[in-house]
Amino acid sequence: MSNRDNNNIARNHSLKIGIIGGTGGMGKGFAIRWCINHDVLVGSRDSARAAQSAEEYTKIAKDAYGKINGTISGNDNAAVAKESDVLVLSIQYENTESTCSQILPLIKDDCIVISPIVPMTKTDKGFEFIPIKENKPFSYQLVEKHMKDKTKLVSAFHVISEKKLANPSLSLDSDIFVCGDDQNSVNVVNGLINEIKGLRPIYLGPGSFSYFAEISTPLLLNAMIRNKIKNPGIKIV
């Protein structure tokens, strides 16, 4: 699969995009960006919190774009998982095992799962990569165990900050690394990345290469704090 093949992809038809942990910073960004064309389902452990976030994000999106073609609604994580065509695991590495073991058995057979999860910790030295520091699995490996069809798992969105994603008035100009085993699933995720103006998908290889994408985040954040760069991103030139 070449990156050129994957970049020129038509926009996805309208999808139901669920966001597990959608009340967090990244969830807000995904919802605000994708409601332009899709129905976004904000998931939470608490359905009332999800509904409240959905209302807040809808207002932000309508204020920013005037009109949206999709909708944003909220529900508990399990209900969201059952309904979604594409499901984003917008949760911390520490909560991955417990959440995925409950949620992923519920998804539709053809549901595509996106993992933006970064296994990272802050120490007195800076940001460190948990799989190397603590000899633990990287995120893709943790999630994969709970997938019915492992080829439907795609790793992406590790190197865009929530501050940029959740601010529709900021113009973006960066690359998003993508790893996955199934061409169709990767194409759908590339399409969703291309729909966010200023983002470009860069395919790195199979899911087993996801650690390259995941380690990019501590790399970027160390560069940020050591060199005083505000909200950095990655762009391959």
Among 18, 27, 191, 201, binds ligand NAP (CB under 6 A): 27
Q: Name residue 86's amino acid.
A: V
Residue whose CB is less far from ligand NAP, 1 or 219: 219
Convert residues 45-84 into a mask of x (bound to ligand NAP by CB under 6 A) and - (unbound).
xx--x-----------------------------------
Give me the residues paired with residue 115 across strands.
155
**What SS3 state is found at 173?**
coil
Among 44, 58, 174, 187, binds ligand NAP (CB under 6 A): 44
Least Å from the CB of residue 165 to ligand NAP: 7
What separation in angstroms does the CA of 146 have from each of 60, 88, 113, 150?
A: 34, 14, 11, 8
Cα-Cα-Cα-Cα dihedral sign, residues 11, 195, 159, 110: negative
102 binds ligand NAP (CB under 6 A): no
Contacts of 170 (CB under 8 A, 6+ apart): 164
Among the residue ranges 86-94, 102-110, 188-196, 203-211, the one whose residues contact ligand NAP (CB under 6 A):
86-94
Among 117, 176, 193, 199, binds ligand NAP (CB under 6 A): 117
Least Å from the CB of residue 93 to ligand NAP: 6
d(CA 12, CA 17): 11
What separation in angstroms does the CA of 13 have from each of 37, 45, 82, 140, 233?
A: 8, 29, 19, 26, 28
Footprint (CB under 6 A) of ligand NAP, residues 154-173: 157-158, 161-162
Binding site for ligand NAP (CB under 6 A): 21, 23-27, 44-46, 49, 90-93, 95, 99, 116-118, 157-158, 161-162, 217
